[in-house]
Structure 1
Amino acid sequence: MKNSILLLLHSILALVFFFSKTILASPGDDLYAFQDCIYQCEQITCYNNHYYIDQYERGQELLDQGYDLYYYNPNWLFVDMPLPWHLRLLGWNCQSNCDYQCQRVITAERRKHDEEIYQFHGKWPFQRIWGVQEVSSVLMSLGNLIVNYQFGFKRIYKIVTDTSLPLLHRKQYYNTLVVVVVTMLAWTASTIFHTRDYPVTEHLDYYLAGATILSTFHALGSRLFSMYKRKNQIYQWTFSILCLSAYTYHVQRLYRDWSYTYNMRANITIGLCQNLFYCLIVFKLYSKYYYIEQESKQVNQNHLKYIDFKRIILPSFYTRSAKLYTLYPLMLCTIVVLGSLLEIFDFPPIFHDLIDAHSLWHLVTIIPPYMGWYDWLVWDIDENVWSDLVKEEDDETDKKKKND
């Protein structure tokens, strides 16, 4: 069984790496038409050099002197300088604007001749709106930011700052609060990156995406191995230091040598371990409630006060008992895993070149926080983690009484 699982994970990784290398290729950059278009645009709009007149008059002379003659197309029309204020506000200049315009020009010509649509600089040739490069991904990133703030941060922060609760109880939410804050920062960085693609915005997006995955991995590992118990505090500190050290190495590794392949491998590896932790936590809780119901002969429904029936998938099934509610993360994880296939089986943008697979993937990631993921976490901490701590305290008290 163990070997089968490992084989499956290696197969998934191999598949992702194969397609990721294919996706990162940018054949559009090498098109002669694209290079000629950029040269024509820059000479005319950036340098006010109508080179094509000189080429026409001195063509043979220039060839004899070793100069390259660039193709001139009078149908290629470009925006005159200066650029509109909304483009300058987002950092567009004449050269970057020529690059964008030529992507659109060449893509339109290839569509006209039923030729394959290519990526440029690792990205599809999106339709820009008010200077925003990837409008759909920006909106989906903002959507993720909003739902994580509305249904995650506000709820968890309210509990952490509720002084009517015991301090030990509130501390059990610290890991979750860290995950929510890091996730919100990551979606903020994603919004900025998709608005305007610079090296600094790209790096920030990647760093925070990695922080989100690792902080979730840390929270789930702490939960799975019951590191919240007092007797396991040394393991909790050790695990936290290891995770923080791993993230520090990850950032330094990317800073020294920016590698998409390494970044993807690291995130996928931790992501797979993260999903494995989800499954083991669910199995652990399901077994617990299964035996509780077997012994009491009653259906446990301690989860109902944590659920918003308007925001849960298949409420007729998952709200029936706490035992069935333990399985809810598997549904949310399945949705995310299926949605991640959009990142593998990529396709050119649709709907006026505004929507692509990546933006649809961001749409899928809105589902878990909106459809009750944080509700499940609060239920788990209040009804399971806290009960474990209370039991541990009671056992310690009984032990002291016996020793006395």
Structure 2
Amino acid sequence: MRLANYFNSILSSLFLVLSFLTLALASPGDDLYAFSDCIYQCEQITCRKNPYNLIQEEFYQEFLDQGVEIHYYNPNWEFIKMPLPFFLRVLGWNCESNCDYQCQRIITNERYKNNEEIYQFHGKWPFLRVFGIQEFFSVLMSLGNLYVTYKYGFKKILKIINNKNLPILLRQQFYNILVVTIVTMFAWIASTVFHTRDYPITEHLDYYLAGATILSSFHALGARLFEFYKQDKILYRWSFTIICISAYIYHVQRLYFDWSYTYNMRANIFVGLCQNIFYCLIVFKLYCKYYNLEQSEPTKVNLNHLNYLNFKRIILPSFYSRSSKLYTLYPLMLCTIVIMGMMLEIFDFPPICFDLVDTHSLWHLVTIIPAYMGWYDWLIWDVFENVWDDLKKSETKKNE
């Protein structure tokens, strides 16, 4: 009961923080008079070819007498002339959206010079645009995640599945991992597109596929933890799969009809926490298994894991290479890194490095680490040395 209460208190605290962050989406930069005046000036002069400042200057007194609104004009504000360069038009920039971007940069630079607080606009920091890309560093990090997932996850798993020399029952155990890598790659593609150009459709696809990644990992880990790969648990396996698919359909439907940042955050955090609990339980079971093996044969240390790990792509190789018992703990290291990286989303700050790098892009940088530093190598080892071993034992008992 105490453990449940402790878990609920942590979950409630996270939800409170996320709710606060969601409320912060009402960006103070949008309400700045200077920002509104800048957009008006840009659109009138560059989009509508309306020299309103000259007209106001000529008929200033008449406008005052008639109660016509006088708009502020700043001769120091300079804007890109029309038509826009081709590379901007290719990415969907038009005169109005380009004015919005230019005014974000103009107002931000003025606030920098005056040592004033930097504000967000439309729920985002005022990043420096590169080749028409809104969040250049986030795009690079999303592509980095896509690359490592493809190279060290998808290609390796697909090669094993296509290896006809392996028993078909063994190859089938990699299907869940393959699905996770495919969903994850699509998620990073959606992330790349969203950070390139922020539209409602690109934002929604990014959120939908991020949720699919978390839930597919939850499904794969749940199936592994509860040993649904065994033939006598086929009913449980299909029931668990149907529940996860149904939950995802509900999640997408809920967001489609009621786009709620708070709900989306809470749902992903909750499933992510359950996923991490599954990680810990799997590690605990495997550690106990190899611990008992070492106790039964003290002079014999299991080193089969050395056939799967890459010493150039593993953290603390001198520690984790000592025995399979220690190697079972490796996911805890990777999970800790990811959780620490996730804390960056809470301690947000204005972009640095020429207004290109923010906490979200650094979070994407952190998520490259698990895939590159041997997460998929650990999964492959687990299937070959643990799952397959369990399957062979269960088949032997069945035939006896």
Quickly name the TM-score band, shorter chain normalised: over 0.9
The reply to whether residue 347 of structure 1 matches residue 349 of structure 2 is yes
Distance (Å, rounded) in 1 between the aligned partners of 2:272 and 2:27: 27
Q: Which residue of 2 aligns with 1:359?
A: 361
Distance (Å, rounded) in 1 between the aligned partners of 2:216 and 2:163: 24
Q: Which residue of 2 aligns with 1:137?
A: 138
What's the offset of the Cα at 1:50? 0.7
Residue type of the partner of 1:42?
E
Q: Secondary structure at the match of 1:154?
A: helix
2:22 and 2:261 in contact (8 A); partners too = no
Distance (Å, rounded) in 1 between the aligned partners of 2:172 and 2:116: 59
Q: Deviations over 1:139-196 (max 9, x none)?
A: 0000000000010000000011111111111110000000000000100111111111
Q: Which residue of 1 aligns with 2:317?
A: 315
Distance (Å, rounded) in 1 between the aligned partners of 2:142 and 2:196: 10
Higher mean displacement: 13-22 or 364-373: 13-22
Distance (Å, rounded) in 2 between the aligned partners of 1:69 and 1:259: 39
Q: Which residue of 1 aligns with 2:209?
A: 208
Distance 1:231 1:356, change over 3 A: same
Q: Which residue of 2 aligns with 1:46?
A: 47
Q: Which residue of 2 aligns with 1:395?
A: 397
What's the offset of the Cα at 1:11? 4.6
Distance (Å, rounded) in 2 between the aligned partners of 1:292 and 1:55: 87
The alignment's C-alpha RMSD in Å is: 1.2
The reply to whether residue 169 of structure 1 matches residue 170 of structure 2 is yes
Residue type of the partner of 1:108?
N
Q: Which residue of 2 aligns with 1:328?
A: 330
Distance 1:379 1:255, change over 3 A: same
Where structure 2 has 5 or more consecutive residues not aligned to the other structure, the ranges are: none
Q: Which residue of 1 aligns with 2:179?
A: 178
How many pairs align? 398
1:23 and 1:346 in contact (8 A); partners too = no
Residue type of the partner of 2:105?
R
Distance 1:292 1:8, change over 3 A: farther
Could you tell me the TM-score, scaled by structure 2's length?
0.97
Q: Which residue of 2 aligns with 1:295?
A: 296
Q: Which residue of 2 aligns with 1:85?
A: 86
Q: Which residue of 2 aligns with 1:401?
A: none
1:301 and 1:320 in contact (8 A); partners too = yes
Q: Which residue of 2 aligns with 1:402?
A: none
What's the offset of the Cα at 1:22? 5.1
Distance (Å, rounded) in 1 between the aligned partners of 2:174 and 2:24: 39
Where structure 1 has 5 or more consecutive residues not aligned to the other structure, the ranges are: 399-404
Higher mean displacement: 50-59 or 167-176: 50-59
1:184-333 to structure 2, matched below 5 A, reads: 184-297=185-298, 298-333=300-335
Residue type of the partner of 1:301?
L
Q: Which residue of 1 aligns with 2:372?
A: 370
Q: Deviations over 1:379-404 (max 9, x none)?
A: 00011001111000000011xxxxxx
Could you tell me the TM-score, scaled by structure 1's length?
0.96
The reply to whether residue 9 of structure 1 matches residue 15 of structure 2 is no
What's the offset of the Cα at 1:299? 1.3
1:19 and 1:344 in contact (8 A); partners too = no
Q: Secondary structure at the match of 2:304?
A: coil
Q: Which residue of 2 aligns with 1:386?
A: 388
Q: Percent identity?
A: 69
1:126 and 1:354 in contact (8 A); partners too = yes
Q: Deviations over 1:314-354 (max 9, x none)?
A: 01111100000000000000000000011111110011101
1:117 and 1:348 in contact (8 A); partners too = yes
Higher mean displacement: 293-302 or 261-270: 293-302
What's the offset of the Cα at 1:59? 2.9
Residue type of the partner of 2:26?
A
